[in-house]
């Protein structure tokens, strides 16, 4: 048996791998319990079985579906948590780790409650796998005893835009990102679904869109759940705008790139990067364009620019990379300085609520598997709509008095 020094750079790494190998060979051996495998062994087995390292190696533009069941982002998240767990509990025997110790560790960890909950969930899954692989006896999962306060409580409420605010924001975002934002706001699509759309997914004759895939960090994956994969209605006005956008993008590609633009035009991608010929990445667009535009929903205390305008500055703005925005406006933007892609999805849900759409229809349009997600996570009606609903009840009471 030979070992690669690249894969197993130290003797400890080789010993961990051999321990996993021995456990596999002795699955039906009653003396298995005497081995008392460590978390290092369990983590190595989990990484191997879930093919986390193979998924992590998938390059932008490639699909993760042929590598494993997990998405690139999920595999990356698992590996991040595994690094924490290995550093703290790697040499600990699986059967010796006490729930109280995990709870104390998580309580003192400098992380958001949601992050702590995710770490706990991964450890819970590791114990489930350990029982499945008969590395420990079947029993109640010890992580069920661990409690994390505030795990379901948001640190801050999501920003919900009014129609007026959205139309102040939209012109500040350059194309093609403006079309992405408009499509997200008019459909409730997640940004990874918007970026993964292909032209054949848009049925202009049927006025519908087929949602089948998502792209995260440039890696393709089928959408999150069977409920996410669905056909959505395409409003005629939005369809006309989208068709004009496609035609204009093709004309600009030919004008700017000549023969090289033909490759972009022939691409099935609805939004194709002229730099790479592949999908756009969501994070840079949000950071460079959407968040700065969100800050412009408030007046600038420095130059007096009003909402919906960039700041009045004397310095040049090279290639649109540095947008005209004073620091004072950034600091005073408050919640609008945190506007991002998911703002459009939260706003879409609130606007649905404002129209009086039945909850079942809202669930279908949001493509949630559970109606509780539609109601609780995205249920944040606009204050004006809540005020009108409340006033209707109050007026009945006062008229009866």
Question: 163-338 adopts what CATH topology?
Answer: hpI Integrase; Chain A (1.10.443)
Residue ranges per structural domain of the chain = 1-31, 35-145, 163-338
Write down the pTM of the prediction.
Answer: 0.76
Percent share of the chain, pLDDT over 70: 75
- In the predicted model, what is the mean pLDDT of the chain? 82
Tell me the pLDDT band of 319, cut-offs 50, 70 and 90. very low
Cα torsion for 218, 126, 24, 95, to the nearest 10°? 160
Determine the pLDDT at residue 150.
74
Segments of 174-293 assigned E as strands? 202-203, 208-211, 213-216, 219-222, 230-233
Q: Evaluate whether 201 touches 177 at the Cβ level (below 8 Å).
A: no
In the block, tokens 């495998």 appear at 37
Domains 35-145 and 163-338 alike in fold:
no
Helix (H) or strand (E) holding 294: helix 291-295
Q: What is the pLDDT of residues 362-372, one digit of tens each?
A: 777 777 766 65
- Lowest mean pLDDT of 237-241, 295-299, 311-315, 329-333, name the range: 311-315
Tell me the pLDDT band of 382, cut-offs 50, 70 and 90. low
Determine the pLDDT at residue 161.
93
4, pLDDT greater than 90: no
Mean pLDDT across the stretch 121-134? 94
Full DSSP string of 238-265: HHHHHHHHHHHHHHHHHHHHGGGHHHHH
Q: What is the pLDDT of residues 175-207, one digit of tens each?
A: 999 999 999 999 889 999 999 999 999 999 988
94, pLDDT greater than 60: yes
* CATH of span 35-145: 1.10.150.130
Residue 244 tokens read as 């004009």
């Amino acid at each position: 048996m030979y070992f690669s020094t690249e894969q197993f750079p130290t003797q400890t790494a080789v010993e961990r791998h051999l321990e996993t190998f021995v456990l596999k060979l002795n699955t039906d051996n009653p003396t298995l319990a005497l081995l008392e495998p460590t978390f290092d062994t369990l983590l190595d087995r989990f990484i191997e079985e879930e093919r986390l390292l193979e998924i992590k190696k998938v390059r932008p533009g490639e699909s993760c579906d042929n590598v494993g069941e997990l998405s690139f982002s999920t595999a990356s998240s698992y590996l991040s948590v595994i690094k924490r767990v290995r550093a703290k509990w790697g040499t600990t025997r699986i059967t010796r780790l006490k729930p109280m110790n995990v709870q104390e560790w998580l309580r003192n960890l400098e992380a958001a409650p949601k992050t702590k909950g995710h770490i706990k969930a991964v450890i819970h899954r590791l114990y489930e796998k350990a029982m499945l692989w008969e590395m420990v006896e079947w029993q109640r999962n010890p992580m069920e005893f661990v409690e994390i306060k505030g795990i379901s409580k948001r640190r801050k409420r999501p920003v919900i835009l009014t129609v007026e605010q959205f139309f102040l924001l939209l012109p500040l975002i350059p194309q093609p990102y403006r079309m992405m934002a408009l499509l997200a706001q008019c459909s409730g699509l997640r940004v990874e679904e918007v970026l993964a759309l292909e032209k054949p997914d848009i049925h202009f004759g049927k006025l519908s869109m087929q949602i089948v895939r998502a792209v995260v960090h440039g890696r393709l994956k089928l959408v999150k759940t069977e409920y996410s994969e669905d056909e959505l209605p395409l409003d005629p006005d939005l369809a006309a705008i989208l068709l004009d956008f496609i035609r204009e993008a093709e004309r600009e590609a030919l004008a700017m790139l000549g023969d090289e633009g033909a490759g972009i035009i022939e691409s099935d991608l609805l939004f194709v990067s002229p730099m790479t010929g592949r999908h756009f990445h969501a994070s840079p667009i949000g950071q460079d364009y959407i968040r700065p535009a969100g800050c412009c929903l408030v007046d600038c205390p420095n130059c007096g620019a009003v909402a919906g305008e960039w700041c009045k500055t004397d310095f040049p703005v090279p290639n649109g990379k540095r947008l005209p925005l004073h620091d004072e406006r950034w600091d005073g933007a408050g919640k609008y300085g945190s506007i991002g892609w998911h703002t459009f999805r939260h706003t879409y849900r609130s606007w649905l609520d404002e129209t009086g759409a039945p909850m079942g229809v809202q669930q279908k349009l949001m493509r949630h598997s559970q109606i509780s997600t539609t109601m609780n996570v995205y249920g944040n009606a606009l204050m004006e709509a809540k005020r009108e609903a409340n006033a209707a009840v109050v007026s009945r009471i006062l008229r009866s008095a």
